[in-house]
Amino acid sequence: MKAVIAAAALAATMAFAQNATDTQDTRDSAPARDTMQPPPATPDTAQPAQPAPDPTVAAQPVQNPANCEPPKYTPDQIKTWREKQESSLRELTEKLNQAFINKDAHAVAQLFTEDGRVMNPRGEKAAGRGDIEKLIKSDMDGFLKDANLTVTNVDIKLLKPGLAFVEFDHVLSCANETAKGNLPPNIHVSTVAVKKDGKWLFQEARAASYPKEKPSA
Protein backbone atom coordinates (compact mmCIF):
# COMPACT_ATOMS: atom_id res chain seq x y z
CA MET A 1 0.00 0.00 0.00
CA LYS A 2 2.76 2.37 0.85
CA ALA A 3 4.40 1.51 -2.42
CA VAL A 4 1.26 2.56 -4.35
CA ILE A 5 1.01 5.90 -2.52
CA ALA A 6 4.68 6.65 -3.13
CA ALA A 7 4.30 5.94 -6.84
CA ALA A 8 1.29 8.28 -7.14
CA ALA A 9 3.14 11.09 -5.37
CA LEU A 10 6.15 10.67 -7.67
CA ALA A 11 3.91 10.85 -10.75
CA ALA A 12 2.25 14.08 -9.52
CA THR A 13 5.64 15.68 -8.85
CA MET A 14 6.91 14.83 -12.32
CA ALA A 15 3.72 16.26 -13.95
CA PHE A 16 4.10 19.61 -12.06
CA ALA A 17 7.74 19.85 -13.06
CA GLN A 18 6.89 19.25 -16.75
CA ASN A 19 4.18 21.97 -16.69
CA ALA A 20 6.60 24.53 -15.23
CA THR A 21 9.16 23.73 -17.93
CA ASP A 22 6.59 24.27 -20.75
CA THR A 23 5.55 27.62 -19.30
CA GLN A 24 9.16 28.82 -19.16
CA ASP A 25 9.80 27.76 -22.77
CA THR A 26 6.79 29.75 -23.91
CA ARG A 27 8.05 32.86 -22.16
CA ASP A 28 11.54 32.42 -23.64
CA SER A 29 10.20 32.13 -27.21
CA ALA A 30 8.12 35.41 -27.06
CA PRO A 31 9.84 38.57 -28.51
CA ALA A 32 11.37 40.83 -25.90
CA ARG A 33 9.64 44.15 -25.28
CA ASP A 34 11.89 47.17 -24.74
CA THR A 35 9.84 49.32 -22.46
CA MET A 36 12.55 52.01 -22.50
CA GLN A 37 12.38 52.71 -26.30
CA PRO A 38 11.30 56.38 -26.95
CA PRO A 39 8.43 57.25 -29.35
CA PRO A 40 9.29 58.19 -32.95
CA ALA A 41 10.71 61.69 -33.23
CA THR A 42 8.58 64.42 -34.93
CA PRO A 43 10.44 66.47 -37.58
CA ASP A 44 10.99 70.12 -36.64
CA THR A 45 9.44 71.24 -39.95
CA ALA A 46 6.20 69.44 -39.38
CA GLN A 47 3.19 71.78 -39.55
CA PRO A 48 0.16 71.43 -37.34
CA ALA A 49 -2.83 69.90 -38.97
CA GLN A 50 -5.07 72.43 -40.73
CA PRO A 51 -8.79 72.37 -40.09
CA ALA A 52 -11.00 71.43 -42.99
CA PRO A 53 -12.62 74.44 -44.76
CA ASP A 54 -16.12 75.32 -43.70
CA PRO A 55 -18.35 75.15 -46.84
CA THR A 56 -20.87 77.50 -45.24
CA VAL A 57 -18.35 80.39 -45.04
CA ALA A 58 -17.65 82.36 -48.25
CA ALA A 59 -14.00 82.52 -49.29
CA GLN A 60 -12.38 85.89 -48.60
CA PRO A 61 -10.71 87.61 -51.62
CA VAL A 62 -6.97 88.07 -51.54
CA GLN A 63 -6.04 91.70 -50.95
CA ASN A 64 -4.74 93.18 -54.20
CA PRO A 65 -2.85 96.50 -54.11
CA ALA A 66 -4.48 97.38 -57.43
CA ASN A 67 -7.88 97.37 -55.72
CA CYS A 68 -6.82 99.72 -52.95
CA GLU A 69 -8.18 103.24 -52.82
CA PRO A 70 -6.17 105.89 -54.67
CA PRO A 71 -3.89 108.02 -52.55
CA LYS A 72 -5.44 111.01 -50.89
CA TYR A 73 -4.29 114.44 -52.04
CA THR A 74 -3.96 117.50 -49.86
CA PRO A 75 -5.98 120.65 -50.65
CA ASP A 76 -2.78 122.39 -51.75
CA GLN A 77 -1.95 119.59 -54.20
CA ILE A 78 -5.47 119.72 -55.65
CA LYS A 79 -5.29 123.51 -55.98
CA THR A 80 -1.93 123.30 -57.76
CA TRP A 81 -3.27 120.67 -60.15
CA ARG A 82 -6.38 122.72 -60.98
CA GLU A 83 -4.34 125.86 -61.60
CA LYS A 84 -2.07 123.96 -63.98
CA GLN A 85 -5.02 122.59 -65.96
CA GLU A 86 -6.72 125.98 -66.14
CA SER A 87 -3.50 127.61 -67.33
CA SER A 88 -3.20 125.04 -70.13
CA LEU A 89 -6.82 125.62 -71.17
CA ARG A 90 -6.33 129.40 -71.25
CA GLU A 91 -3.28 128.84 -73.43
CA LEU A 92 -5.38 126.68 -75.77
CA THR A 93 -7.98 129.45 -76.01
CA GLU A 94 -5.30 132.03 -76.80
CA LYS A 95 -3.92 129.79 -79.56
CA LEU A 96 -7.40 129.60 -81.06
CA ASN A 97 -7.77 133.36 -81.00
CA GLN A 98 -4.32 133.91 -82.53
CA ALA A 99 -5.13 131.48 -85.34
CA PHE A 100 -8.26 133.55 -86.13
CA ILE A 101 -6.23 136.76 -86.07
CA ASN A 102 -3.72 135.18 -88.49
CA LYS A 103 -6.58 133.95 -90.68
CA ASP A 104 -5.09 130.45 -90.41
CA ALA A 105 -7.98 127.98 -90.71
CA HIS A 106 -5.63 124.98 -90.67
CA ALA A 107 -4.16 126.05 -87.34
CA VAL A 108 -7.68 126.40 -85.92
CA ALA A 109 -8.62 122.86 -87.03
CA GLN A 110 -5.49 121.40 -85.41
CA LEU A 111 -6.68 122.65 -82.02
CA PHE A 112 -9.61 120.20 -82.25
CA THR A 113 -9.68 116.44 -81.81
CA GLU A 114 -9.82 114.37 -84.97
CA ASP A 115 -13.54 113.79 -84.40
CA GLY A 116 -14.21 117.35 -83.24
CA ARG A 117 -17.35 119.25 -84.19
CA VAL A 118 -18.06 122.96 -84.74
CA MET A 119 -21.15 125.10 -85.28
CA ASN A 120 -20.61 128.70 -86.39
CA PRO A 121 -22.87 131.67 -85.51
CA ARG A 122 -24.97 131.07 -88.64
CA GLY A 123 -25.79 127.50 -87.55
CA GLU A 124 -23.52 125.83 -90.11
CA LYS A 125 -21.88 122.64 -88.80
CA ALA A 126 -18.68 120.73 -89.46
CA ALA A 127 -17.33 117.40 -88.14
CA GLY A 128 -13.71 116.28 -88.31
CA ARG A 129 -10.61 118.41 -88.79
CA GLY A 130 -10.92 118.55 -92.58
CA ASP A 131 -14.48 119.88 -92.54
CA ILE A 132 -13.71 122.22 -89.63
CA GLU A 133 -10.90 123.80 -91.63
CA LYS A 134 -13.21 124.32 -94.63
CA LEU A 135 -15.93 125.93 -92.50
CA ILE A 136 -13.52 128.23 -90.66
CA LYS A 137 -11.85 129.22 -93.94
CA SER A 138 -15.25 130.15 -95.34
CA ASP A 139 -15.95 132.36 -92.28
CA MET A 140 -12.53 134.00 -92.51
CA ASP A 141 -13.07 134.82 -96.16
CA GLY A 142 -16.58 136.02 -95.41
CA PHE A 143 -17.94 137.89 -92.40
CA LEU A 144 -14.60 137.75 -90.52
CA LYS A 145 -12.51 139.07 -93.42
CA ASP A 146 -11.93 142.56 -92.00
CA ALA A 147 -12.40 141.69 -88.35
CA ASN A 148 -9.91 141.52 -85.54
CA LEU A 149 -10.88 139.23 -82.69
CA THR A 150 -10.13 139.48 -79.00
CA VAL A 151 -10.94 136.78 -76.48
CA THR A 152 -12.48 137.99 -73.21
CA ASN A 153 -14.50 136.61 -70.30
CA VAL A 154 -12.84 133.19 -70.39
CA ASP A 155 -14.61 130.86 -67.96
CA ILE A 156 -13.27 127.38 -67.25
CA LYS A 157 -15.03 124.57 -65.42
CA LEU A 158 -13.09 121.36 -64.78
CA LEU A 159 -15.74 118.67 -64.84
CA LYS A 160 -13.33 115.83 -64.08
CA PRO A 161 -9.71 114.93 -64.93
CA GLY A 162 -9.33 115.21 -68.69
CA LEU A 163 -12.69 116.92 -69.31
CA ALA A 164 -13.55 120.63 -69.12
CA PHE A 165 -16.20 123.12 -70.20
CA VAL A 166 -14.73 126.36 -71.55
CA GLU A 167 -16.65 129.39 -72.73
CA PHE A 168 -15.50 132.84 -73.82
CA ASP A 169 -16.47 135.90 -75.82
CA HIS A 170 -14.99 136.84 -79.18
CA VAL A 171 -15.13 140.63 -79.39
CA LEU A 172 -14.93 141.80 -83.02
CA SER A 173 -13.30 145.05 -84.07
CA CYS A 174 -12.20 146.62 -87.34
CA ALA A 175 -9.89 149.53 -88.30
CA ASN A 176 -11.62 149.95 -91.64
CA GLU A 177 -14.36 152.50 -91.05
CA THR A 178 -16.21 151.40 -94.14
CA ALA A 179 -16.27 147.77 -93.10
CA LYS A 180 -16.88 148.53 -89.42
CA GLY A 181 -20.58 148.94 -89.95
CA ASN A 182 -20.76 145.54 -91.60
CA LEU A 183 -19.29 143.64 -88.64
CA PRO A 184 -21.56 140.99 -87.15
CA PRO A 185 -22.50 141.08 -83.46
CA ASN A 186 -20.00 139.81 -80.96
CA ILE A 187 -19.73 136.06 -80.62
CA HIS A 188 -20.05 133.85 -77.55
CA VAL A 189 -18.35 130.48 -77.85
CA SER A 190 -19.12 127.43 -75.69
CA THR A 191 -16.70 124.51 -75.95
CA VAL A 192 -15.95 121.10 -74.50
CA ALA A 193 -12.24 120.34 -74.13
CA VAL A 194 -10.64 116.96 -73.53
CA LYS A 195 -7.12 115.94 -72.63
CA LYS A 196 -5.52 113.33 -74.87
CA ASP A 197 -1.94 112.12 -74.58
CA GLY A 198 -1.25 114.90 -72.08
CA LYS A 199 -2.55 117.64 -74.42
CA TRP A 200 -5.75 119.66 -74.18
CA LEU A 201 -7.85 119.93 -77.37
CA PHE A 202 -11.31 121.20 -78.19
CA GLN A 203 -13.84 118.51 -79.01
CA GLU A 204 -17.00 120.58 -79.40
CA ALA A 205 -17.51 124.28 -80.15
CA ARG A 206 -20.78 126.17 -80.50
CA ALA A 207 -20.74 129.87 -81.44
CA ALA A 208 -23.67 132.22 -80.96
CA SER A 209 -24.06 135.93 -81.74
CA TYR A 210 -25.27 138.52 -79.28
CA PRO A 211 -25.74 142.32 -79.50
CA LYS A 212 -22.67 144.47 -78.92
CA GLU A 213 -24.57 146.67 -76.56
CA LYS A 214 -27.24 145.80 -74.07
CA PRO A 215 -30.65 146.93 -75.25
CA SER A 216 -32.00 149.95 -73.46
CA ALA A 217 -34.62 149.33 -70.80
Of 138, 151, 143, nearest to 183 (Cα)?
143
- Is 192 part of a structural domain of the chain? yes
SS (H, E, C) 77-112: HHHHHHHHHHHHHHHHHHHHHHHHHCCCHHHHHHCE
Is 12 within the bounds of a domain? no
Residue 39 lies in a domain: no
Q: What is the pLDDT of residue 78?
A: 86
Q: Is residue 33 part of a domain?
A: no
Reported as a pLDDT band with limits 50, 70 and 90, residue 209 is confident
Distance between CA atoms of 130 and 114, rounded to whole angstroms? 9
* 180 band by pLDDT with thresholds 50, 70 and 90: low
pLDDT band at 147, cuts 50/70/90? confident
Task: Flag whether 18 is in a domain.
Answer: no
Parallel, antiparallel or unpaired: strands 199-210 and 186-196: antiparallel
Would you state the pLDDT for residue 173?
Answer: 79
Distances (CA, A) of 77 to 71, 84, 91, 125, 162: 12, 11, 21, 40, 17
- Residue 124 domain flag: yes
CATH number at 86 reads: 3.10.450.50
Q: Which domain holds residue 154?
A: 75-210
**pLDDT-above-90 percentage for the chain:** 42
Number of structural domains in the chain? 1
Residue 67 in domain: no
How many angstroms separate the Cα of 202 from the Cα of each of 27, 74, 96, 132, 143? Answer: 106, 30, 10, 12, 23
- Amino acid identity of 40? P
Is residue 170 in a domain?
yes
